Amino acid sequence: MARKFFGTDGIRGETNSGNMTAATAMRVAQAAGAHFRRGDHRHRVVIGKDTRLSGYMMESALVAGFTSVGMDVIQTGPLPTPAIAMLTREMRADLGVMISASHNPYRDNGIKLFGPDGFKLSDEVELEIERGIESEPQLAAASEIGRARRIEDARGRYIHALKQSISTETRFDGLKVVVDCANGAAYQVAPSAIWELGAEVITLGVTPNGTNINDGVGSTSLDAIKAKVVEEGADVGIALDGDADRLIVIDEKGNAVDGDQIMGLIAIRMAEKGVLRGGGVVATVMSNLGLERYLADKGLTLERTKVGDRYVLERMKAGGFNIGGEQSGHMILLDHATTGDGTVAALRVLSSLVHFRKPASEVLHVFDPVPQLLKNVRFAGGTPLEDVDVKSVIADAEAELAGKGRLVIRPSGTEPVIRVMAEGDDGAQVEAVVDRICDAVKAVG
């Protein structure tokens, strides 16, 4: 069955258009609620959101849908995605919902669902819910309609969990940290947690107004935090995205540090402490070859998956790994969270700065990345990757890079674009290879 609603990370789109309407949200809630109503206990769902204007509308629609099928609703207000996953487990809920479009602009919104274990739903469960969305809802009897309540201590619970993710002896006294929350879901909790651990905190992106989420701030717009770190003479900058499941770090010189370097740092420290499981790290095909070589030198593996944190998580669970992530900044530390958590990863980075007592530019330069180039090629239609000439150019490129680099070519899942990425020790060779493949795709597309 082809997916109509769910993508690689829940349901997402422009609000009041397509699948992202109040009417659809209510049907999603009714279908998901019906699916998770099992047993004779009183069923409940935890609903959180980021700071988008449309969050009010989507939240109200979801509450109506869940209560109409007999589920009680617990509303937390704005909280990061990983906080909702945590609270779903902690409150023994049957289901968790996060209303967010992550790093997208405010016009978009999304619905992410978590099972009672706090993990995102499997493909099979999402397909079951899709079938329910297009079926008549199983409405509860009048006496069984659910209730809704808002809890006031959700932020405090999550802040406590964040601090529990590092050693109780660790303090951040003496560190000056710029924290950019993208005017998103972590605008209260991330600065508070870091301040409570002793750091001097300078904030950016903590004045959400419904339409400024990810607007010139956050992990996908780094100019503001780079400038702020240098201007303030800060030790480090922490940049989160709209729902705070992603982290990019800025060193004291104003340089960005991506997820590969952060994963490398955290993994090695865990290995030294004897708490790394799985024998290495899980990342996607986009992670730099330099990370793979660095881990191999330490006797650790880098296992690669398709792009998407859900695929990273699936491999982590199957292989017994406790650290994984993406170059883009999703960090999954399974000992402390069931999904990517930018703030948990940030606390690990700050702990490393305290431990090594060296500048961030030294601590976070774990390996030398090899030259890597990604280009996107738009095509008009058809399947250019099936063309004989394109296949021939790709085969030649793979042979040329053999033993010296890597080639990753994949179609976008959301637009008519082919993504061409190559990396290797020779930057000029990498650029030439990418350009040849792009030209071949353009010729047939």
Q: Name every residue whose Cβ is closer than 8 Å to that of residue 181 and which is 6 or more positions away in sequence.
A: 187, 190, 191, 203, 204, 205, 206, 217, 218, 240, 244
Q: Rounded distance, CA 388 to CA 6, Å?
A: 33
CA distance linking residue 239 with residue 217, whole number of Å: 8
Strand pairing category for 247-250 and 236-240: antiparallel
CA-CA distance, 251 to 270, in Å (whole number)?
22
| Cβ atoms of residues 140 and 248 within 8 Å | no
Cα–Cα dist 199/163, whole Å: 13
**Residues 55, 110 contacting (CB under 8 angstroms):** no
Residue whose tokens read 């405090």: 156
Kindly tell me the burial class for residue 209, based on how many C-beta atoms sit within 10 Å of its own C-beta (0-12, 13-18, 19 or more): exposed
Give the full edge-to-edge strand order of the sheet including 176-180. Answer: 200-204, 176-180, 236-240, 247-250, 256-257
The answer to whether 360 and 353 are in contact (CB under 8 A) is yes
- 328 flagged as catalytic: no
- Beta pairing partners, 112: 98
End-to-end CA distance of the chain: 28
Residue 375: count other Cβ atoms within 10 Å of its Cβ: 15
Backbone torsion region of residue 182, taken as left when φ is above 0, otherwise alpha when ψ lies between -120 and 50, otherwise beta = left
Catalytic residue from among 54, 100, 102, 192: 102
Q: Which positions are catalytic?
A: 102
